[in-house]
Structure 1
Amino acid sequence: MRLPIFFAKRYLFSKKSVNAINVISLISVIGVLISSAALVIVLSFYNGMENLILSLYSTFAPELRIAPTEGKVFSTNTAIFQELRKDNLIQSYTEVLEDKVLVEYENHQFIAQVKGVEPQSLLAVNHENMLYAGDFNILEHNNPYAIIGAQVQANLRVSLEGINNHIQLFSPRKGGSVNSVNPMEEINIRNIAPRGILQYQQGFDNLIITPIDFARDLLNEHSKISAIEIYTKDPAKVEQLKNTIQKKLGKDFSVKNREQQNPLLYKTIRSEKWIVFFILTVIGIIAIFNIIGSLTMLVIDKKEDMRVLESLGANKTLIQRIFFYEGVMIAFIGGVVGNILGLLFCLFQERFGFIRTADGANTIMDVYPVDIRAMDFVLVFITIMVFATLVSYLAAKLSVREIKPEN
């Protein structure tokens, strides 16, 4: 064992002549410990919330979405799209036609986004978590039905009950004349009965999902579509399929995964996590500065020992390393124990869920979710050790400088 480490270990664990030094050293360890544990716990909780939010968004967003890079609609009457529909990696493939429409129900009006899809696509993938009420059967005995978003339902107060319970959709007729004597003749008006209500999800709460044939008739668009939405059989192969499709379609189309469909959501969630990490790291650095006080008091307490070492031939560098290694040991102990305590806390929360949301205040989750990731522990430990090493070096250098040889 190297001599500086030997002395540092003895000084850290031996009883000091002044009991306050033991207390200060313990406070330094506890400060690093609490900082490490807090960082680990907060990162794990943010991971859990990130997974929860993204899982809710993922329920509504397709795994892949194909759209034109220019314009709003395109034709799929080509061999590429016909082959794509038959791809063995695809579980659900649907053409989509969507646009803004005016919705009216019992003298209440609302601007919504009608989205026409192939009816069987809603049944090919488990979408049950999307529904607040009703079902996904939007085509029954050749009769079209609609699934409406939460905001549409809230604003129009639409009920799913009743025999003649229909909503009216209004869309300007393409190619119509603006000089028509009766402007209503240039507007397509269609009635449809609501069959289900979507759970609230920002970005999807103004949707009205209908069979694509109904949307074609309403929007007067019989040959082109707005997008293609795809779900895969194996989520692990989404990126592989995305790259393959993009290569085949070229620059005229964009193929986006879920993150690319809503980059703001993903960036916001991740940036919030690292902002909190930065704030807690600053607080942790303040706690690490306790090491300066601990080493300064220890140097004063061991001043006579240092003079003895100097008389035996030890130079300032060796003495400085003794106190530097002690500061590093304090941070190491605090960091390791803090990580362990943080891990245990997260495991208990994951197993027993003792930190809960208020009863009845949240229908999405009853307990705060956690997601334990090994890289978070490594990041926290490295962060603590880097700052502790810098502080220990500074403290050791300044403290040892004050030791003056006796005349």
Structure 2
Amino acid sequence: MNLPFLFAKRYLFSKKTVNAINIISGISVIGVLVSSAALIILLSSFNGMENIIISMYSQFAPELKIEPRTGKLFDANIPSIQKLKKDANVLNYTEILQEKILLQYDNKQYIGTIKGIEANSIDHKAKDSLLISGEYTLMKDNVSYAVIGAGVQANLGISVQNALNQIDVYSPRKGVKNSANPADEFNIRSIQPAGVLKYQQDFDNLIITPITFAREALGEYNRVSAIEFYVKDKSQIQKLKNDLQTQLGENFVVKDREEQNPTLYKNVRVERWAVYFILTLISIIALFNIVGSLTMLVLDKKEDMNILKNLGANSSLVQKIFFYEGLMISILGCSTGLIIGYLFCFLQINYGLIKVEEGANMLIDSYPVALRFSDFVIVFFTISIISGLISYFSAKISVAELNKLKLTD
């Protein structure tokens, strides 16, 4: 029989001599409850925002990408790369040619980035979700079309409905300098815009064209900037990445989505954990209510402790009683808070209780939330460990003060 636990349970739920102690104990439980619920709700909110940000990026980013370790361009006609075209696990294989260029449209100029790809290189399910206007078309009836970033459209004032005006693409011609006619120093090609991509920093300045058009505009017919592809079996991505890296050697780098944009993933995680630590500090302040509750309880049960000591109990047993009391307050409050947090997140996910202000966001109509079991584990152990430490030192100090008070008497 665990005697300290039995006493602690009795003291927690029994009525105290002084009614204020019941109120302070209730406040302690509510403080832990609110802290736990707030932590789980905010972490789940960040999970939802993280999922939206990464999914928007993932729609355009390939699952795997091969780049040269040094330099911008490389020859893709090597056996290990060519095998990928025949690999049954590889989807939407495409060679990429990407470079900075000068764009001109209706007497306006803008420096953007041309990205030449195969017409079917992006998952067809993602094409429409990437656009805010027009259609995702790169080739129709052997005519090349472009899909442009929102930044390109905004700076050049491009209308995809206007079929008369085309975008002029200027690229420096290799090996030509100080020509009598400055126009001879550039490759100049024109293309009709077909669609506009959603606003996103990673591709706002892009103009996406068929790779054949990009080769003509850049004057680069044999080399590519990268190779991008998707994988049928998502569970094999890491294995395929490692195998490819081994086959290609040190001259190439094989990147997954996180490695293609490490800043995005890092920022999302840093923001999430920063909020977690800030809320944890606030929770610590709330958990200090346990100190007041235990101190008052020690004074209230002074006579009971004297009886226990006369029966042979030592200071360690008395200290354990109040330590368990503080621990039970925190576990009760934390468990209830996690349940309330879960219910709120469940209702938000299924019914969208809190709506996004109308017109402020075109992507979502209610604040996104995503539940993760690991968050519940983290919050429970965080609250339990902090409250356990507070309870331990509070019980120890309170019992020591009680002993001093007894000696004085």
* TM-score under structure 1 length normalisation: 0.97
| Residue 393 of structure 1: aligned partner | 392
Q: CA deviation at 1:241?
A: 1.8
* 2:93–2:228 Cα contact (<8 Å) kept: yes
1:51 counterpart = 2:71:
no
| Residue 146 of structure 1: aligned partner | 146
Moved more, 17-26 or 163-172: 163-172
| Residue 136 of structure 2: aligned partner | 136
| Residue 225 of structure 1: aligned partner | 224
Q: Equivalent residues in 2 for 1:59-208 (5 A)?
A: 59-122=59-122, 126-177=126-177, 179-208=178-207
| Residue 367 of structure 1: aligned partner | 366
What secondary structure does 2:402 align onto?
coil
Q: Equivalent residues in 2 for 1:336-375 (5 A)?
A: 336-375=335-374
Structure 2 distance, partners of 1:103, 1:376, is 47
Give the residue type in structure 2 aligned to 1:233: K
* TM-score under structure 2 length normalisation: 0.97
What secondary structure does 1:313 align onto?
coil
Structure 2 distance, partners of 1:137, 1:353, is 35
Structure 2 CA distance for partners of 1:122 and 1:263, relative to 1, 3 Å: closer
Structure 2 distance, partners of 1:321, 1:128, is 63
Structure 2 CA distance for partners of 1:5 and 1:163, relative to 1, 3 Å: closer
What secondary structure does 2:203 align onto?
coil
Structure 2 distance, partners of 1:235, 1:399, is 57
| Residue 269 of structure 2: aligned partner | 270
Q: CA deviation at 1:79?
A: 1.8
* 2:137–2:147 Cα contact (<8 Å) kept: no
| Residue 255 of structure 1: aligned partner | 254
Structure 1 distance, partners of 2:165, 2:296, is 81
* 1:104–1:156 Cα contact (<8 Å) kept: yes
What secondary structure does 2:87 align onto?
coil
Q: CA deviation at 1:60?
A: 1.4
| Residue 4 of structure 2: aligned partner | 4
* 1:91–1:125 Cα contact (<8 Å) kept: no
Structure 1 distance, partners of 2:255, 2:127, is 20
Structure 2 distance, partners of 1:147, 1:75, is 26
| Residue 38 of structure 2: aligned partner | 38
| Residue 284 of structure 1: aligned partner | 283
Equivalenced residues, count = 406
Question: Runs of at least 4 residues of structure 1 off by over 3 A?
Answer: 122-126, 404-407
Moved more, 41-50 or 397-406: 397-406
Structure 2 distance, partners of 1:252, 1:124, is 32
* 2:62–2:228 Cα contact (<8 Å) kept: yes
Structure 2 distance, partners of 1:290, 1:29, is 9
Structure 2 CA distance for partners of 1:359 and 1:125, relative to 1, 3 Å: closer
Give the residue type in structure 2 aligned to 1:333: L
Structure 1 distance, partners of 2:390, 2:307, is 26
**Runs of 5+ in structure 2 lacking a partner?**
none
Structure 2 distance, partners of 1:170, 1:303, is 88
Q: CA deviation at 1:222?
A: 0.7
Q: Percent identity?
A: 55
* 1:160–1:195 Cα contact (<8 Å) kept: yes
Q: Which deviations, in whole Å up to 9, do the C-alpha atoms of 1:318-372 show, x marking residues without a partner? A: 1111111101110110111111111111111111111110012110110111111
* 1:92–1:125 Cα contact (<8 Å) kept: no
Structure 2 distance, partners of 1:325, 1:90, is 58
Q: CA deviation at 1:139?
A: 1.5
Q: Which deviations, in whole Å up to 9, do the C-alpha atoms of 1:64-88 show, x marking residues without a partner? A: 1111001100001222222111111
Moved more, 239-248 or 258-267: 239-248
Q: Which deviations, in whole Å up to 9, do the C-alpha atoms of 1:226-278 show, x marking residues without a partner? A: 00111112333222221121111111111111110110110000110110000
Q: CA deviation at 1:134?
A: 2.0
Give the residue type in structure 1 aligned to 2:205: N
What secondary structure does 1:41 align onto?
helix
Q: Which deviations, in whole Å up to 9, do the C-alpha atoms of 1:284-314 show, x marking residues without a partner? A: 1111111110010011111111111111111
Structure 2 CA distance for partners of 1:19 and 1:122, relative to 1, 3 Å: closer
Q: CA deviation at 1:124?
A: 5.5
* 1:135–1:195 Cα contact (<8 Å) kept: yes
* 2:60–2:122 Cα contact (<8 Å) kept: no
1:14 counterpart = 2:11:
no
Q: CA deviation at 1:123?
A: 6.4
Give the residue type in structure 2 aligned to 1:216: R
Moved more, 54-63 or 234-243: 234-243
Structure 2 CA distance for partners of 1:117 and 1:125, relative to 1, 3 Å: farther
Structure 2 distance, partners of 1:162, 1:376, is 51
